[in-house]
Amino acid sequence: MGSKALLLRYLDRFGIIIVVLLMIAVLTYLEPQYFLTFRNFSNILKQIAENAMLSLGMLLVILTAGIDLSVGSVLALAMMCLVMADIVGGWPWWIVVFIGPLVGIAAGLFNGFGLTLLRLPHPFIMTLGTLFAMRGLTNLISGGVPYSGLSDPVRFLGSAQIPLSFLGPGATLPVSAIVVAIAYIGISLFLRRAAVGRHIYAVGGNPNAARVSGINVDRVLLLVYALCGFFAGMGGLLTAGRTNSGFPLAGQGAELDAIAAVIIGGASFFGGRGTVLGVLGGVFIMGLLRNGLNLQNVSPFWQQLLIGFIIILAVWIDVLRRRAAVRT
């Protein structure tokens, strides 16, 4: 392998970190007093936690050349279920905290069975269906109204902060960031080391090859959609904790943010390509952009416009990179 090819491979893997560092440098230059403070970084970490959860699940699904449009609705459903159980039902917290993830897994399995048993032609359709259905269910069980005032243990993962006062005033580590870190490290190891993790890449690369290699493709798909639902449910738990409430409109459009982060992170929409590190980079790029533009008092409308162009730019860079790789 020539040095150019080696360089390309490294850029492929770690280029996104360079982009994130560049963004931090630019934002520090634009906002020298505030941006590079621990308080602001604690804020950013808190803000990105939900998108980080949804994006991680979305990565797994996109790796198999699938898509899950329902994650925002599943987040809302999981959130509403656990909030109702806590506030209306008065259930003990150690049951309530499992409700979010379990509802997520159930919704994910529902998606997975729709794809594998009903043989719906594309996950877009099945998950578009559940996007509506789960939102409807959320509104039905909540009566369309928000609830607030959760018990403290239920809020812990989403809102607790570990003080790091030795780093400066207001410096804290949100517990949600630890949850994100554990999830990302876990899934990264799972994708790289576990046989099933490799099978996810194989199913995305060539489902036919996976099938004749004795891989149970349907089982891999079920697992992937269940995990995606699980992370949506975790997102619901974190959001409920952070906002101290459950509202039926939660997570509207969140699936698009998640897809954007995965694509900006360099994953291929056609499956088989993408890394956990890339998705983390994508999540940070979107989070830093929002944070930086907020600090600059740029209107959210401009933020939308910019994120749109960044998605297009990210995919274009991917196209250029692929073309360069073919030439070497």
Give residues in contact with another protein (CB under 8 A): 1, 190, 193-196, 198-199, 201-202, 204-206, 208-210, 212-215, 272-273
| CA 170 – CA 164 distance, rounded (Å) | 8
Taking the least distance from each CB to another protein, the nearer of 6 and 30 is 6
Nearest approach, Cβ of residue 294 and another protein (Å): 38
Q: Sign of dihedral through CA atoms 269, 275, 281, 284?
A: positive
Taking the least distance from each CB to another protein, the nearer of 22 and 189 is 189
> Quick one: which H or E segment has residue 322?
helix 300-327
Nearest approach, Cβ of residue 279 and another protein (Å): 17
DSSP letters, 17-72, are HHHHHHHHHHHHHHSTTTTTSHHHHHHHHHHHHHHHHHHHHHHHHHHTT---TTHH
Taking the least distance from each CB to another protein, the nearer of 242 and 273 is 273
Nearest approach, Cβ of residue 78 and another protein (Å): 25
Nearest approach, Cβ of residue 201 and another protein (Å): 6
Nearest approach, Cβ of residue 108 and another protein (Å): 19
Nearest approach, Cβ of residue 252 and another protein (Å): 34
Taking the least distance from each CB to another protein, the nearer of 208 and 297 is 208
Taking the least distance from each CB to another protein, the nearer of 134 and 202 is 202
The number of residues in the chain equals 328
Taking the least distance from each CB to another protein, the nearer of 223 and 293 is 223
DSSP letters, 94-139, are HHHHHHHHHHHHHHHHHHHHHHHTS--S-HHHHHHHHHHHHHHHHH
DSSP letters, 250-270, are TTTTHHHHHHHHHHHTT--TT
Q: Which of 175, 185, 161 is nearest to 280 (CA)?
A: 185
